[in-house]
Structure 1
């Protein structure tokens, strides 16, 4: 951790910064996984909305 002390004796701590890297484009199987996750999420939200309308 990087630490500095000013003329009044106050300590200032700096967090260590992580290495920066570029994200890679997802592979075709990862894209399919994201589509399936989106479909399941849409199904759950839609069913919750329909249940809430039917109960009220």
Structure 2
């Protein structure tokens, strides 16, 4: 019996691609340029780690 395939990790891209010069993060997805470039060939462990970083970054932003 083979295990069911796991769904791949979805991209956080929302097609608002603009790097903030101060933070170095994309204003749309909150990834660094290095994370964006690596995403296409990265494994799911890397992608999950990036998602964890995105959530941490979101928590640090003053949205008010």
TM (norm. structure 2) is: 0.31
- Which structure would you say has the larger RCO, counting Cα contacts within 8 Å and 6 or more residues apart? 2
Q: Larger Cα Rg: Structure 1 or Structure 2?
A: 1
More helix as a share of residues: 1
